[in-house]
Amino acid sequence: MANHPFTYQPLPVRVVFGPGRRQQLAAEAQRLGLKRVLVLSTPGQANTAEHLAALLGGLAAGTFSGATMHTPTDVTEQALRVVHDLNADGVVAIGGGSATGLSKAIARRTGLPQIILPTTYAGSEMTPVLGETSGGRKTVIRDQAVLPKTVIYDVELTLTLPPAVSASSGMNALAHAAEALYAHNGNPLVSVLAEEAIRALGQSLPRIRHSPQDLEARSQALSGAWLAGSVLGSVDMALHHKLAHVLGGTFILPHAELHAALLPHTLAYNAQAAPEAMNRIARALGRPDEGGPDPTGRNAPQLVAELNRRLGIESALKNLGLPEAGLDEATTLALQNPYANPTPLEREALRELLQRAWSGQAPR
């Protein structure tokens, strides 16, 4: 790829990384000139949101703990009323993709600056991408206006993330990096970052699964998620993300688990058309003690499927709540306004991909 022309635009996001760095929250808010900050979270993170409000002290205007999966527009409207009632001049989001999505939706409508403190490996905090759900359909936009001003990566905030959730969240991030490797507008720097993200996540997630308090493994996973989010924000995504948006928004499936279960199949769909990307993925997931590609010769889709199994991740979409009767509808929706993809989208092949993912079969 280095011999081909490309364009690269770094994203203007300030990153504060390290254990305990949440203590810098008030200083970051002051740096942005904020005086009345609303803290956002899901219901499950309400206590953590109150903790951040305490760290903000007099800069905290209040909390809103109603964020939910896939960023429903009705929840955004509720939060906007709170923003208005409290006269908030900025927002802080604590959590994963749900809290970050709500923060982005508010920023897009109000122009308010955001500070994000991730507690998962979703990576969406580093992207100008917002997916919103309304009327059973998910709409995805790319707009620099939804980028946060600052992201604070405090690994201590991830220590309570359950191992199973850590695993699926990390595979969600790995999917971002994998698709960046065959993006039609990719470039050499993105490829290097994406491969390193896959390597970091592939090495750290099994350790976290068995030792959830391993601070070194948690830090490695968080840095991998940061890199994966960065590359997701720098290039366009392809078939994998299109399917995840369609299935997640239409059938309200769990976001991270959906990404993890789909990824071996979407990689297999694109394998022949993107051999360099597959080689990079296989090299990144190779055994660390071998210092190179997997010595058994397994390919990228197989290695990702095996990593899912090692992490105990559900492989069948039917067990995530996708009805078999919805596969035809999902195929039709995926073919509408398709994302650029290395392998052309064909209805029969796409329907077969979804059937195999639904039943939990090995990637073709």
pLDDT higher at 53 or 135: 53
In this prediction, residues 126-131 reach a mean pLDDT of: 91
Q: Which amino acid is at 44?
A: G
Predicted pLDDT at 5: 80
Predicted pLDDT at 316: 98
Predicted pLDDT at 291: 44
In this prediction, residues 333-360 reach a mean pLDDT of: 96
Does the pLDDT at position 287 exceed 80? no
3 state SS for 73-125: HHHHHHHHHHHHHHCCCEEEEEECHHHHHHHHHHHHHHCCCEEEEECCCCCHH
Contact status, residue 244 vs residue 133, Cβ threshold 8 Å = no
Predicted pLDDT at 288: 45
289 band by pLDDT with thresholds 50, 70 and 90: very low
d(CA 240, CA 269): 10
- 180: which 2 tokens? 């960046």
Q: What is the pLDDT of residues 14-40, one digit of tens each?
A: 999 999 999 999 999 999 999 999 999
First CA to last CA across the chain, in angstroms? 27
Predicted pLDDT at 122: 86
Contact status, residue 183 vs residue 48, Cβ threshold 8 Å = no
- 293: which 2 tokens? 């590609």
d(CA 217, CA 337): 39
C-alpha to C-alpha distances, 272 to 68, 297, 348, nearest whole angstrom:
37, 16, 17
Q: What is the pLDDT of residues 160-207, one digit of tens each?
A: 999 999 999 999 999 999 999 999 999 999 999 999 999 999 999 999
Predicted pLDDT at 294: 53
212 phi, psi to nearest 5 deg: -60, -20
d(CA 199, CA 23): 30
Does the pLDDT at position 10 exceed 80? no
Residue 184, class by beta-carbon neighbours within 10 Å (0-12 exposed, 13-18 middle, 19+ buried)? exposed
Find the angle CA(320)-CA(231)-CA(105) to the nearest 5 degrees.
Answer: 65
Q: Which amino acid is at 280?
A: R
Does the pLDDT at position 271 exceed 90? yes
Residue 226, class by beta-carbon neighbours within 10 Å (0-12 exposed, 13-18 middle, 19+ buried)? buried
Pick the CATH number of 14-158 from 3.40.50.2300, 3.30.390.30, 3.40.50.1820, 3.40.50.1970: 3.40.50.1970
d(CA 231, CA 266): 18
Parse the chain into domains and list their residue ranges: 14-158, 163-359
- 298: which 2 tokens? 């397994």
364 band by pLDDT with thresholds 50, 70 and 90: confident
In this prediction, residues 321-346 reach a mean pLDDT of: 96
Does the pLDDT at position 290 exceed 70? no
325 band by pLDDT with thresholds 50, 70 and 90: very high
Pairing of strands 129-134, 137-142: antiparallel
Strands across the sheet containing 150-153:
14-17, 150-153, 114-118, 90-95, 37-40, 60-64
List b or e across 261-299, with b for residues whose CB sees 16 or more CB atoms inside 10 angstroms. bbbbbbbbbbbeebeebbebbbbbbbeeeeeebbeeebb
Element housing 60 (H / E): strand 60-64
Can you identify the CATH homologous superfamily of domain 163-359? Dehydroquinate synthase-like - alpha domain (1.20.1090.10)
Note the Cα 330 to chain centre separation in Å. 21
Predicted pLDDT at 297: 57
Share of the chain above pLDDT 70, in %: 96
Q: What does pLDDT average to over the chain?
A: 94
